[in-house]
């Protein structure tokens, strides 16, 4: 924390605000136009992918340890202002993504830790559903599992009997999206930083 400068905090605020704007504006729009099952299988992955790319790009300009987590804190605070009202699930998801990205970057900020951090952050989207449904609504693993498999079956066009395959595909999609987001942030942030002579 002592290494943080005013520039670092301003950068954290800017990138947190950008991620927050994506969550509030694009998130609200997608929830309005897409069917309910898209909430788990598309909206969370899309918003998470963009958010990861924004947060990890911010790491190039605020390279201090913990900066990505603080970007997620700013985003979570802004999410409280969402027109849809205060929802605990998205707040926890955003903070968890920040923690997972920061954990991957704790040792070093390299191309591969960016990729790993992105993959871990988006992969969290899957277990997050099980945990939050249990904590907020008291639904057990079997109930959530069944609903997720049914929605996944419709989305992927697979038979419900291939339950574990459906979950594996959903997890793989998240890992790929997260990895691409991390890679994109590494390339984009690095290119802009070099352009600015930093």
DSSP state of 132: H
Mean per-residue pLDDT, 20-49: 79
pLDDT, one tens digit per residue, over 147-161 is 888 887 877 788 888
For the whole model, what pTM was predicted?
Answer: 0.88
Computed over every residue of the chain, the mean pLDDT equals 86
pLDDT score at 14: 96
Q: Which residue has the higher pLDDT, 135 or 113?
A: 113
Q: Which two tokens stand for residue 110?
A: 């390299």
Mean per-residue pLDDT, 14-38: 83
Percent of the chain with pLDDT over 90: 46
**136-147 core/surface letters (b: 16 or more CB in 10 A; e: else):** eeebeeeebbee
- Does the structure show a pLDDT above 70 at 138? no
**162-179 core/surface letters (b: 16 or more CB in 10 A; e: else):** ebeebeeebeebbbbbbb
Q: Which residue has the higher pLDDT, 101 or 161?
A: 101
- Does the structure show a pLDDT above 70 at 9? yes
pLDDT, one tens digit per residue, over 166-181 is 889 989 999 999 999 9
pLDDT score at 2: 60
Write 76-83 long-range contacts (CB < 8 A, 24+): 77/16, 77/20, 78/16, 78/17, 78/20, 78/21, 78/23, 78/24, 79/20, 79/23, 79/24, 81/24, 82/23, 82/24, 82/27, 82/28, 83/24, 83/28
pLDDT, one tens digit per residue, over 42-92 is 788 899 999 999 999 999 999 999 999 999 999 999 988 877 667 788 889
- Does the structure show a pLDDT above 80 at 163? yes
Place of tokens 């002579």: 197
Could you give all domains of the chain from N- to C-terminal order, each with its CATH number? 6-195 (1.10.1760.20)
């Amino acid at each position: 924390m002592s290494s943080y400068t005013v520039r670092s905090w301003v950068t954290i605020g800017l990138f947190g605000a950008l991620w927050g704007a994506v969550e509030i504006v694009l998130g609200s729009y997608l929830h309005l136009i897409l069917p309910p099952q898209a909430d788990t299988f598309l909206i969370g992955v899309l918003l998470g992918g963009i958010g990861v790319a924004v947060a990890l790009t911010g790491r190039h300009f605020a390279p201090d340890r913990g900066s990505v987590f603080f970007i997620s804190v700013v985003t979570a605070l802004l999410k409280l202002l969402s027109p849809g009202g205060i929802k605990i699930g998205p707040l926890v998801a955003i903070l968890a993504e920040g923690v997972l990205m920061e954990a991957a970057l704790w040792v070093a900020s390299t191309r591969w830790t960016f990729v790993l951090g992105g993959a871990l952050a988006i992969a969290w989207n899957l277990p997050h559903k099980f945990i939050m449904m249990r904590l907020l609504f008291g639904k057990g693993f079997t109930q959530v599992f069944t609903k997720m498999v049914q929605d996944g079956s419709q989305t992927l066009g697979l038979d419900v009997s291939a339950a574990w395959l459906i979950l594996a595909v959903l997890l793989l999609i998240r890992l790929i999206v997260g990895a691409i987001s991390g890679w994109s942030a590494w390339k984009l942030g690095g290119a802009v930083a070099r352009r600015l002579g930093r």
